[in-house]
Amino acid sequence: MNHNLTTLHPYPFAKMATLLANSTPAHNHSEIKLGIGEPKHEPPAFVLDVLRENLDKIGQYPTTNGLFELRQTIAHWLEKRFFLNHLDPHSQILPVMGTREAIFSLVQAVVDHPQTELSEATTNQPASTKPAQPPIIVMPNPFYQIYEGAAILAQATPYFMPCTIDNDFKGNYRAVPKDVWTRTQLLFVCSPNNPTGSVMTMDDWEYLLRLSDQYSFIIASDECYSELYFDSAPIGLLQACAALGRHDFKNCVVFHSLSKRSNLPGLRSGFVAGDANILQPYLQYRTYQGCAMPIPHQLASIAAWEDEKHVAHNRALYQEKFALWMSELGELLDLRMPEAGFYFWIKVPEQFKGDDEIFVKALYEQANIHALAGRYLSREVNGENPGQGYVRIALVASVDESREAISRIRKLLNA
């Protein structure tokens, strides 16, 4: 077996299961799941209709680059949403089966292990090559764990950039040492960020684009929460490129998904867009990997990307729930409104010793509420784990369940 498999961390939810293995949930309460970020709002009925109407097409093999109509629809959506002049559906867009697999596989396709030439004079042996230091992939910390696993399995070294209150939970890019950037082949950005809810500004993008030019690394921008915002729509990486006149999107790729935007996590539908010089070899990689989206799913995806009404409705539901939590619990809990997304990233109250494991255990044992311990989403670097002392709460449950969760948490905090 690939020995790197043994260095993969268990998934955060596996760590939660271990933590709660000997706990009993409050028996007088029904279970409320706020741990996993699985959307629970209704999927749009018209999308499911298209899926049903096209089930007979399951008899055909889909192509890896998908239907032209799907890529064209996505191009139109991107142009409108991010103010782009033109995207080429042939070379700048690839449908993928949810962003998770694409985030993982893109890393496998792009990471390169250059060999350093050693001359006979230096080694006293016949001319040979020796691996250079492993490439680096820079990522936020806390993070979506696929970034780390993808780096490990591509034999790259993850470099964790702490996202703390001191840097608005975005990560301090300016503090990354030069010798890290020189080995960096790819930088993951998650905007809106899971779990912190931070969003990149135009200035942030401009700074990162300058770094990418200087050190020739790819910026991989995970934007799967981009449509769940409150006041203004987050600026995406392609939008920043276009505003700066970088219409070839050099070294930039973005990931988008229907999972959160349209409440279709089971459809497994998303796309990667950006630099054609990355997407074309990546398409060839995907042809071998063999993950093409079934045609009924592609047709349903076209319907979903073409409609904004259901997305606005979805946003309104999240806004209602965030407002409810803020007004009902804002004084008892250190609640900070995220800039976008559907997570609260909450500092654990002192009465739980500021300890995320203690707090999530109490929520489960006394209120039958699932939340996620922050430390399971992050890594300790130089003795500090930026997720420790935080919990992530996903506002995925219905408005009624949210009310119930709030009332139970109020009781727990007042106890």
Ligand X SMILES: Cc1ncc(COP(=O)(O)O)c(C=O)c1O
Residues forming contacts to ligand X in the complex (CB under 6 A) are 37, 98-100, 144, 190, 194, 222, 224, 257, 259, 265, 270
Q: What residue spans of 63-221 are helical by DSSP H?
A: 68-82, 99-110, 120-123, 145-153, 178-183, 202-215
Q: Kindly report the number of other CB atoms within 10 A of residue 58's CB atom.
A: 11
Q: Which two tokens stand for residue 2?
A: 């690939």
The residue to which tokens 């506002």 are assigned: 395
Residue number with CB closer to ligand X (109 or 409)? 109
- Taking the complex as a whole, the smallest distance from the CB of residue 262 to ligand X amounts, in Å, to 11
Residue number with CB closer to ligand X (291 or 413)? 291
Residue number with CB closer to ligand X (42 or 88)? 42
- Taking the complex as a whole, the smallest distance from the CB of residue 260 to ligand X amounts, in Å, to 7
Measured distance CA(162)–CA(170) in Å, rounded: 8
- Taking the complex as a whole, the smallest distance from the CB of residue 286 to ligand X amounts, in Å, to 15
Helix (H, G, I), strand (E, B), or coil: what is residue 393? strand
Residue number with CB closer to ligand X (193 or 368)? 193
Residue number with CB closer to ligand X (39 or 412)? 39
Burial 226-236 (b: 16+ CB within 10 A, else e): bbbbeeeebbb
- Taking the complex as a whole, the smallest distance from the CB of residue 102 to ligand X amounts, in Å, to 8
Measured distance CA(252)–CA(318) in Å, rounded: 30
* Structure-derived torsion over alpha carbons of residues 247, 300, 268, 310, reported in degrees to the nearest 10: 80
CB 345 within 8 A of CB 338: yes
CB 183 within 8 A of CB 136: yes
Residue number with CB closer to ligand X (144 or 169)? 144
- Taking the complex as a whole, the smallest distance from the CB of residue 225 to ligand X amounts, in Å, to 7
- Taking the complex as a whole, the smallest distance from the CB of residue 224 to ligand X amounts, in Å, to 5
